[in-house]
Every structure is written in structure tokens, then in C-alpha cells.
Amino acid sequence: MSRSTSTRGRLTLLGRSKARIPASPAEAQLETFANLTRRKFWIHFETGDFTSLCPITGQADFAKIEIDYVPGKLCVESKSLKFYLASFRNERAFNEAITNRILDDFVRACAPRKAIVTAAFSARGGIALTVRATFPNGAKSGQNGR
């Protein structure tokens, strides 16, 4: 995952219909723009369209991904996040590793004050799995530590 700090005029995906989804998260780029306020506020991203692959069987894993963060000097541009998350569609990895990678890449891209990534994976064999990763490490992430 490469990092791109952009001003409004240098965003490469927004408003470009010919942009292509990267083949892998390593090729994806989370673009950012300046946070123009000093107020601490939360930003919430949510998608139910996340897909990755089981590293053992190669079967698709489906998840609802939520990202909540308090921006520092930078905010993440939503179309670049959409393309970044879509780049996992052919990625073979365990759900826990994927959730933590998303958080690590997100923190690397925008250096938020706080961030929480929640990945609610669909049931397999009757068991659903939700993974929650927080930044800074060990930060409480809501009611009852959730």
C-alpha cells in the first residue's frame, strides 16, 4: 500500500471514471487531503461489499467493514478507500490478519489521532466472526470495550 498525501487538485481517483481497482492491497493507494479543522471529530466509513479469500480453501469471505477515526492533519479520501478495500478481492489471508492490515495501512496513510477498524465476517459453518482492531494499540473502542 503506497501513501499519497494530496491536496484537492492532486487526488488521482476522485472524478476519474477510468480509474481501475488495484490487483492487490500492495498496489492500492490511500489518498489523503488536509484536515482543515482543529476540532476533534469522528469520521465513519462503512461498506458491506468487502470480499477476500480464505487462505486455506480459496473460498470467498464476505464482510461488513467499518472504519471510525479521529483525523490528525489528514483525512482519507473515500473513493481511494473504496478502491483499496476492493483490492482485497483476490487476497488470501485470515480475517484477523486482514483487519489488522487495513488498520495498519490506514494509520500509515493518514496518522489519525484514533482509529477503529471493525470487520464483521459472514457466518461460515454456523459461526460468524467479528474482528476489531484499534489505534493506538489497546484503545477502548466503544461500549464494553467493543
Gap between the Cα atoms of 142 and 66, Å rounded: 13
Gap between the Cα atoms of 91 and 137, Å rounded: 25
Of 49, 54, 68, 110, which is the active-site residue?
A: 54
Element (H, E) at 109: helix 95-110
Gap between the Cα atoms of 2 and 28, Å rounded: 6
The residue length of the chain stands at 146
Determine whether 104 is an active site residue: no
Of 61, 75, 105, 110, which is the active-site residue?
A: 61
Count H helices and E strands in the chain, helices first. Answer: 2, 7
Determine whether 54 is an active site residue: yes
Give which of 122, 127, 50 is closest to 91, Cα–Cα: 50
Catalytic residues: 54, 61
